Amino acid sequence: METNPIPVVTAQTSPYDDQRPGPGGLRKKTSVFESKRNYLQNYIQSVLSSIDLRDRQGSTVVVGSDGRYFSRTAIEVIVQMAAANGIGRLVIGHNGILSTPAVSCIIRKIKAIGGIILTASHNPGGPGGDFGIKFNVANGGPSSDTVTEKIYQVSRTLEEYAICPDLRIDLSRLGRQDFDLENKFKPFRVEIVDSVEVYLNMLRGIFDFNAIKGLLTGPEQLKIRIDAMNGVMGPYVRRILCDELGAPANSAVNCVPLEDFGGQYPDPNLTYAASLVESMKGGDFGFGAAFDADGDRCMILGQNAFFVHPSDSVAVMAANTSCIPYFRQMGLRGLARSMPTSTALDKVAKALKLALYETPSGWRFFGNLMDSGRCSLCGEESFGT
C-alpha cells in the first residue's frame, strides 16, 4: 500500500478526428501512437468516458495484450488513467500477456464491465508495425456499433483527460497491488494474474482432457505440431498441450511472445505459416495448427499438410459436438456462420435439425446470437471459430 495518496491530475489535450474504432478496435501504425501528442491518452479516455459514471465507479476491467511492441507502455498509461477515472480494480495478465479468448473468459468469470486488449490481430508488430486497442464489453465479446460510435463521438470533442502519472505497477509480480489515491475512499487495486490458469480451467470444463491426453500420449500417439508464431499463444500452447496434456516439447514451436513476432506476420495462413506447412509435409505429424498474434484465429492442417478450410473446420466441429462433454451436457442450441463462409455448416445444421444463422462479418453479431440463447457454435471465413 502506498503511504502517501497518489495525486489525480487533469491534463489538457486536443481531439483527433481519426479515432473511430472498427470491428477490431482502433488500429494504426505504431508510430502514430508514439509520435502524436496524447494520441493514446485521448483514445483511452474516450473508452473510459463512454462508460456511464455510475457503472464505472468501483468497477472491474480486464487488461491484456498480445505482447507486441508498445504494449507495456500502453498498459502503464491505461493503469494510470483507469485509476484516475474511478475504475476500482484492474485484472491484468502476467507480464501484460492475455489472449483475446482469455480476456473474454475472465470478463465473464469475474463479471467485469469490460476488457481492454492491446492487439492489431494478424498485423505485424515492432516499431515499424501496427498497434491496436480493442474494448470488449461485459459479455466478453466485441463492442457493439452503439458503443464504438459513442467512443468515437467522445474522441471528437475531447479537451482533457484524467491520469495518475505517479502510479507505477510491476507486471512481473503475480498478486495484488493496492494504491491510495487522492479523493478516493477505497484503494485502487491491480491484480496481476496467471495468463493461462483461468482459461485452462474453463477448457477443463468443456473438453475431455483424459481422452485428449490418451490420444497424445497413448500407444497410437497422435503427433502434433503447433506454431504459436511468437504471439500470445505460446504460453497457452506450452502449458495446456505440453504440460497438461502430455504432448512432447517439440510439438510446440515459436512459443516465446516477441514484440515484433520474430519479424514475421503473425497471420496463420499457408503463406505466413509456411514453416509449419513444410514440417507437416513429411507426414510425421497427424495434426497441425498455427495461431495469430492474439489467439482468436487458427489455421488447421492435417497429415501431409492437408489444408482444412475454415469453412470446413467449423462444420467438422459442429458435426462432432457429441464428442465434447460440454455439448453433451448442455446441448446444441443453434449454429451460425458469417455470410462469406461456405454452406458446409448449413448441411450439418440440417442433418442435426438445428437452426442456422447467417450474419455479416464481425464477431459482435455472433455474440448477439449467443446472448439470446440461439447459438452455441459459430465460425467465420477468416480462421475464427
3 found inside a domain: no
Residue 231 located in a structural domain: yes
Q: How far apart are CA 87 and CA 175, in angstroms?
A: 18
| Domain identity same for 178 and 108 | yes
Residues 14, 57 share a domain: yes
Q: Is residue 201 part of a domain?
A: no
Look at the pTM and tell me if it is higher than 0.85: yes
CB 254 within 8 A of CB 232: no
How far apart are alpha carbons 227 and 100 in whole angstroms?
17
Domain C-terminal end among 151, 171, 195: 195
Cell for 129?
508495425
Asked if 325 contacts 207 with a C-beta cutoff of 8 angstroms, the reply is yes
231 contacts 120 by C-beta, under 8 angstroms: no
Same structural domain, 17 and 166: yes
Per annotation, catalytic residue among 49, 50, 65, 121? 121
- Show the beta-strand stretches assigned E in 254-343: 287-291, 298-302, 306-308, 334-338
Rounded-to-10 torsion of CA 364, 53, 50, 371: 10
DSSP 3-state of 359: strand
Final residue belonging to a domain, choices 262, 278, 308 = 308
Bridge partners of residue 302, in order along the sequence: 287, 306
Which letter, b or e, does each residue of 187-200 get, where b requires 16 or more Cβ atoms within 10 Å of its Cβ? bbbbbbbebbebbb
Residues 30 and 82 in one domain: yes
Q: Supply the pLDDT for residue 368.
A: 84
Q: With respect to residue 352, please indicate whether it lies within any of the assigned structural domains.
A: yes
SS3 state of residue 226? strand
All cell numbers assigned to 36 = 502524436
172 φ, ψ (degrees, to nearest 5): -90, -10
Grid coordinates representing 143 are 463492442
Instruction: State phi, psi for 60 to the nearest 5 degrees.
Output: -115, 135
158 shares a domain with 15: yes
183 lies in the same domain as 299: no
Dihedral angle of Cα 256, 259, 264, 266, to the nearest 10 degrees: 70
227 & 186 share domain: no
Report yes or no on 44 lying in a domain.
yes
Residues 134 and 296: their CA atoms lie apart, in Å, by 13
In a domain, 202, yes or no: no
| Domain containing residue 355: CATH number | 3.40.120.10
Round to whole Å and give the CA distance between 144 and 371. 13
Provide the CB-side half-sphere exposure for 249 (13 A, CA).
Answer: 0
Q: Which residue numbers in the chain have pLDDT < 70?
A: 1-2, 185, 383-385
With CA atoms as reference, report the closest residue to 132 among 22, 264, 28, 23.
28
Q: Which of 280, 308, 336 is the last residue of a domain?
A: 308
Structural domains of the chain, count: 3
- Residue 188's H or E segment, with its range, is strand 188-193
Say how many C-beta atoms besides its own lie within 10 A of residue 357's C-beta: 17
Residue 122's alpha-carbon distances to 68, 278, 291, 293, in angstroms, are 11, 21, 9, 6
> What burial class does residue 33 get, using C-beta atoms within 10 Å of its C-beta: 0-12 exposed, 13-18 middle, 19+ buried?
buried
Residues 233 and 357 in one domain: no
Distance (Å, whole) CA 191 – CA 175: 5
Say yes or no: 330 and 236 in one domain.
no
Residues near 320 by beta carbon (within 8 Å), at least 6 away in sequence? none
Residue 64 lies in a domain: yes
On whether both 183 and 258 belong to a single domain, the answer is: no
Amino acid 385: pLDDT: 60
In 3D space, the residue among 353, 361, 356, 357 whose CA is nearest the CA of residue 380 turns out to be 361
Instruction: Please tell me the predicted confidence (pLDDT) of residue 384.
Output: 64
Question: Could you list the residue range(s) of the whole structural domain that residue 170 is in?
Answer: 9-195
Q: Is 59 a catalytic residue?
A: no
Grid coordinates representing 385 are 471459430
Same domain? 187 vs 221:
no
Query: Within 13 Å of residue 121, how many CA atoms lie on the same side as its CB?
Result: 15
Tell me if 13 is assigned to some domain.
yes
- 265 and 187 in a common domain: no
